[in-house]
Amino acid sequence: MRNAVMVKWLWLSLLAIILDQVSKLAVAGSMQLYESIELMPFFKLTYVHNTGAAFSFLSEAGGWQRWFFAGLALVISTVIAVWLTRLKQHETLLAVALALILGGAIGNLIDRLAYGYVIDFLDVYYGTWHWPAFNIADSAITLGVALMLAESFGLGRSQQPDTL
């Protein structure tokens, strides 16, 4: 590894994985499948299994999607890990974003390999409209992508001129 200074952010990946897995085990251990617990007028804990990807994409595909999404997560996780090792010291926001995405990807990968589905339980809604249920790993991925976008628009960059 040439410049592995930014791998120090892997603690954030580990934190995302731990929070994700502990929360999923708590939900699976204390709730029945499809059970909902209202916490606020717009938020419930609703225990569901997602055999697909985001928004249950390919959830009815017959089972092959488990291995497809697991393989995809492995490839993406490897690419992100290598990318982290190649970041420069001033690319902190990008390192944080990548670490969050990595942690989320691994959190959901653990579910796919262990159960064949991802445990989702965070249910945001308004009236009869429901956002698809999600979990801590999904939240880490979403936050990581948002931070990556913000970084691409210049947030977090130092005012030093780029060197060739």
Q: Does a structural domain hold residue 164?
A: no
Active-site positions read 120, 138
Q: Is residue 42 part of a domain?
A: no
47-67 pLDDT, tens per residue? 999 876 555 555 555 556 667
**Number of domains the chain is built from:** 1
pLDDT tens figures, 113-144: 899 899 999 999 999 998 999 999 999 999 99
Domain that holds residue 115: 4-37+49-152
pLDDT above 70: residue 84: yes
Q: What is the reported pLDDT for 63?
A: 57
Has residue 161 been placed in a domain?
Answer: no
- Asked if 38 and 119 count as a contact pair (C-beta separation under 8 A), the reply is no
> How many C-beta atoms lie closer than 10 Å to residue 94's C-beta?
23
162 found inside a domain? no
CA distance 122 to 44: 6
